[in-house]
Amino acid sequence: MTIPDGLDRIDLRGVEARGHHGLFERERRDGQVFVADVSLGLDLGPAAREHDLTLSVDYGSLAQGVHDIIVGEPVDLIETVALRMVDLCLAAPSVRWVSVTVHKPQAPIAVTFHDVAVTIERSTQ
């Protein structure tokens, strides 16, 4: 899925925090770093013309909300973490499309790897 035609984009990259998500007891107990990337599709024209943040998205508040999800209630799957972030983004009235990627660079994988990530994209159109 790609951003629909006619929409502008806000990107928030690399929101990093320590969370306690995972299937294994040690993941829940010890926690690990998670990193989130968020892209929003919306029409930025009205906000730009009116100089009105309420017609856009406050990316400071968005970053805090994403952070709060990472450090919040533990869940088994990063898919759940990503979906919570998608729901947060789509709660903003101006957002028509969202893509969220949650990275779990310290996942308990037995082979050498650089990163594992889950991406969820949704559109209101």
Taking the C-alpha atoms of residue 35 and residue 16, their distance in angstroms, rounded to an integer, is 4
pTM: 0.94
Q: What is the pLDDT of residues 3-53, one digit of tens each?
A: 888 899 999 999 999 999 999 999 999 999 999 999 999 999 999 999 999
User: Quick check: 69 and 81 in contact, CB under 8 A?
Assistant: yes
**Domain 8-123, classified CATH 3.30.1130.10, yes or no:** yes
Would you name the residues annotated as active-site residues? Answer: 104
Residue ranges in 21-58 assigned as alpha helix (H): 25-30, 45-50
